[in-house]
Amino acid sequence: MDHNYNHHQQQQQQQPYPYSSSSSSSYGYLQQQPPNPNSSSSAAIMYPTPPPPLYYNQQPPSYHNASPSNYPTPPPNYHPPAADAAAAYPFQSSQSPADYFQYYPQPPPPGYQQQQQQYTTASAGGSYPQQPPLPPLEMSNSNYHHYHHQEDEFSSCSSTPLYHFSNQFSSAPASPIYHQQQTTSTSKPPEEESSDSSLSHNTHHHHHLSSQTPYLGQNNSSSSSNQQHHHSLSKKALKVLLLHGNLDIWIYEATNLPNMDMFHKTMGDVFNRLPGKKTRITSDPYVSIAVTSAVIARTYVISNSEDPIWKQHFNVPVAHRAAEVHFLVKDSDVVGSQLIGLVAIPVEQIYSGTRVEGFFPIINNTNGRPSKDGAALRLSIQYHSMDSLSTSLYGVGVGGVPGTYFPLRKGGRVTLYQDAHVPDASLPDFKLDDQDMHYVHGSCWNDIFDAISKARHLIYITGWSVWHKVKLVRNTANPEYTLGDFLKLKSQEGVRVLLLVWDDPTSRNILGYRIDGLMATHDEETRHFFKRSSVQVLLVPRMAGKRHSWIKKQEIGTIYTHHQKTVIVDTDAGYGKRRILAFVGGLDLCDGRYDSPHHPLFRTLQTVHADDFHNPTFTGNLAGCPREPWHDMHSKIDGPAAYDVMTNFEERWLKASKPHGLRKLRASYDDALLRIERVPEILGVNDQPYLDDQDPEAWHVQIFRSIDSNSVKGFPKDPGEATTKNLVCGKNVMIDMSIHTAYVKAIRSAQHFIYIENQYFIGSSFHWGSYKDLGANNLIPMEIALKIARKIRSHERFAVYIVIPMWPEGVPTASATQRILFWQNKTMQMMYQTIHRALVEAGLEGAFSLQDYLNFFCLGNREAAGPHDDVGEQNPALGNTPQGLAQKSRRFMIYVHSKGMIVDDEYVIIGSANINQRSMEGTRDTEIAMGAYQPHHTWAKKLSSPRGQIYGYRMSLWSEHLGVVDDRFTQPESIECVRYVRSLSEANWKQFAATEVSEMRGHLMRYPVEVDQRGKVKSLKGYENFPDVGGQIVGSFLGIQENLTI
């Protein structure tokens, strides 16, 4: 994010993280049809070999006729749930009555032995194969009581997004008595799946709620429910197992829920009733699905129902160690929610791939008794491990990411940018696969300036910050227009110029007196500049929905932002036609962003940065201080996917321009959008693609977002319709969280290496050694660690390079900055400890170090004094302040603001999203990203390392960062490359940290921490604090958990 967190230290409650799923699987896995034997509808999506992209106006092929794809698919023996669940039992068909008593020490329910016999006779075609024994892994107690107070009236869960769902089939599948389905053998589990030592001795007991007897029928009389529940509640220890793969879950219905709303409705609910209409006020139930402390899915809310029917299907990615999967039935209230009760399914029951299905009693959290006589939840759950999912059969990008809002688009061209400006001949030349092809180093802001200058119909800009005074081009060859003057000029030519800018709530414009906000985004200044022009500017606050509580509205409006950065224009398509061109990435059009691969500190202070000094680390006297160099990643999309970027703008503009409050008295902006279908010159998205797919330079591109229905117009209001657009459902909100989907799919598909540059790296808190319930539950760090662990067990090389800023932008000693560093350290340590366990289990602990697989880096620069310096004499008044020390040492970090990932040199993701909860969740900051690959430059196509534009881009980035080019860089996964890059980064750090000032050739430095043999991460010896500016490198925690810094 472009946020200085130090200005926003507000305490917030934990917000669990949602993960999306649908019957079409947002992660591309298990493209199964929701079971309904009576349905006449067509089969669900399945991708043939190789899987084609999902294009608009194209019917997907049938599931039943599909051949193997690169997406994880159900095993051949997978059977969807049947259609009737009146007599459902989730007991394993391989269990004997003795097996039953092992897990259920009470007497078996009536008919159990008869039903068991039914599935072991000829009527079932023979007996089911015996289930192999479960692995002897760690034990843990049920932590069901954790959820009792997890969502109170102040809980941020009230707007937490959850997952995709499906209700396209009219009747819920009925469940057979039991399904024995193994996705992979568990006679010997993957060695990565043994839990860490902290869990291995956690073997205490609890009331036996996890092995709950399923409810046997739909008779809700007290006699039947008493028969069901009146067994002794014994105690039992549960095994902690690693769930890494997907959970296939159906939530069908609940019966006989208690009325939780007698005193919890608002006055409006009571008095806003129509005269003479009798409406019973009762519970508004929904179901949260949780693994450990992380909420992974949730149904939508059904108002005023004690017998709700959801019929929702979830295909949820998991990477969690847990003893149970919890289904928490809750009552939604305006100010939060109440826990009605829970159902806990032991992980060991589903670990073999067996589907468990039936009615289960809903247990009260406080006393271990049923929440109400006859209260039950009907569900099914099946686990598909990574071993059963074909995640990388055809490469990382092939087929795109299914189950997302925008489809994969083919026939385009992509330009990849590093930094805002790359001077000619400043970086080495790289030959690509075709020896006649060379990687072209684009110059981002020059290209944006050129695209705006050639626009004839429209210029649409979104930004966290847009500053009218910024100059995109800074050389004598072109007039040095400011952005504001340039846009005014274009609007006078008849071009439709629209700006969507985040409205910083701390900035104000009162009677002409402007107060710049804490984030210094210039929003009010920019709006005032364009006030009497034909350029239309909307300052858009980040707003919660109408049905959110006042507290939730304040949290969203104060803490979260609109963070997308896009520029959309029309451009020449030849033959008198125009097409849409879009820029997407991490660069805002504002101050502080203009930089080159040289990243000067002092030498440009009186030239290209004379009116553009930016360094929020320093406060007070800034005379003679170094500027903050800025490194970023950006992209240009020329082709069909650019129209999806424009659709995002249009959806946001229509939402933001809708009059509300005092704005109803103002002029409307909702007709400002240009309807391109009425402009004959502009080609449509389905017209002839820009490049033929046979062209070796063609790209396949897909647009992803983190955004919810409070920020766009066009998302369906009916939760039942959201599945048609692959949206996930939150509490009174619909969410597109496909950026997280894309990252997880790409990581799971990686086979050789991953290269990441990101402004933040925080996540998978559910697996930290402490603060597990923080709520930073995105899967990205854990998925990377487990990918490395799997490669170690397979004795295959794999390497991960992660580049982050030395410290978050702002004052490094500030408490918010220190908390971010603390969470970052927790994330690092969790990853290294996971790798350590894998090395030990593979017997390779002495052969390789942890950093032979995973390395964290930062960027910095140091300039020796020279004759062309623009600094002048050192300011003696600064003394030993951070400003004075930085001026004396002539060094400073290069701020990494990138938000990108490269996988196997064949797939790239670039956008505005950071790797933290704010960017990945979908209900916090709004984000946009692109994922792209060249179909002619993949491992599957070449049977060797791809050498297309993505390879050239990574090599260009490495040449900028390291100052050298080496043949070892062509094989990033090799141990030789990893160790060489690390040696260069260590040398660069020593030069940066030395007392003597010297010119730095390379900028990539080891992140200043040490990793011991067991994965503990601590500060580098002798460097507990950052040079010159202070602040603990590993961060510090002051006992305040909040949503701001995660």
Alpha helices in 215-281 (DSSP H): 222-229, 267-271
Query: Exposure string (b/e) for 801-836, b if CB count within 10 Å is 16 or more?
Result: bbbbbbbbbbbbbbbbbbbbbbbbbbbbbbbbbbbb
- DSSP per-residue letters across 670-732: TT-S--GGG-TTBPPTTSS-SS-TTSTT-EEEEEEEEEETTT-S-S-SSHHHHGGGT-EEETT
pLDDT for position 478: 64
Please check the confidence at residue 314 and state whether its pLDDT lies above 70. yes
User: What is the sign of the dihedral through the CA atoms of 376, 377, 378 and 381?
Assistant: negative
List strand residue ranges (DSSP E) for 386-433, in order: 409-418
**Once rounded to an integer, what is the mean pLDDT over residues 945-973?**
97
Task: Catalogue the active-site residues.
Answer: 563, 565, 570, 897, 899, 904
Task: Flag the least confident range among 184-193, 292-301, 429-438.
Answer: 184-193
**Once rounded to an integer, what is the mean pLDDT over residues 333-360?**
93
Q: Quickly state the pLDDT bin for 761 (edges 50, 70, 90).
A: very high
**Once rounded to an integer, what is the mean pLDDT over residues 968-978?**
98
pLDDT for position 791: 98
Question: Residue 303 corresponds to which amino acid?
Answer: S
- How many helices and strands (H and E) does the chain possess? 20, 34
The Cα–Cα gap between 631 and 231 comes to: 64
The Cα–Cα gap between 464 and 522 comes to: 10
The Cα–Cα gap between 560 and 551 comes to: 14
3-state secondary structure of 577: strand
Q: Are the CB atoms for 462 and 500 separated by under 8 Å?
A: yes
pLDDT for position 476: 65
Greatest mean pLDDT among 47-56, 203-212, 797-806: 797-806
Q: Quickly state the pLDDT bin for 134 (edges 50, 70, 90).
A: very low
Within 13 Å, how many C-alpha atoms sit on residue 168's CB side? 21
Using one digit for the tens of pLDDT, what is the confidence trace for 736-758?
A: 999 999 999 999 999 999 999 99
Task: Flag the least confident range among 167-181, 487-501, 515-529, 979-993.
Answer: 167-181
Using one digit for the tens of pLDDT, what is the confidence trace for 981-1022?
A: 999 999 999 999 999 999 999 999 999 999 999 999 999 999
Percent of the chain residues past pLDDT 90, beyond the cut: 58
Greatest mean pLDDT among 33-37, 565-569, 1037-1041: 565-569
Query: Nearest Cα to 914, choosing from 564, 629, 597, 649?
Result: 564
Return the DSSP state at 107: P
Using one digit for the tens of pLDDT, what is the confidence trace for 448-507?
A: 999 999 999 999 999 999 999 999 999 766 667 899 999 999 999 999 999 999 988 876
Please check the confidence at residue 12 and state whether its pLDDT lies above 90. no
Question: Residue 944 corresponds to which amino acid?
Answer: S
For 872, other C-beta atoms within 10 Å of its C-beta total: 11
Return the DSSP state at 915: B
Q: Quickly state the pLDDT bin for 129 (edges 50, 70, 90).
A: very low
The Cα–Cα gap between 686 and 58 comes to: 11
pLDDT for position 114: 37
pLDDT mean across residues, the chain:
78
867 Cβ neighbours under 8 A, 6+ residues apart: none
Q: Are the CB atoms for 26 and 405 separated by under 8 Å?
A: no
Please check the confidence at residue 643 and state whether its pLDDT lies above 80. yes
- DSSP per-residue letters across 31-89: -PPPP-TT--SPPPB---SSPPP--TT-PPPBSTTPPP-SS----TT-----S--TT--
Q: Please, what are the domains in the chain?
A: 5-14+739-865+878-1019 (3.30.870.10), 97-387 (2.60.40.150), 409-678 (3.30.870.10)
Using one digit for the tens of pLDDT, what is the confidence trace for 248-280?
A: 999 999 999 999 876 544 444 544 445 555 567
Residue pointed to by tokens 């923080």: 774
**Once rounded to an integer, what is the mean pLDDT over residues 861-878?**
74
**Once rounded to an integer, what is the mean pLDDT over residues 163-190?**
36
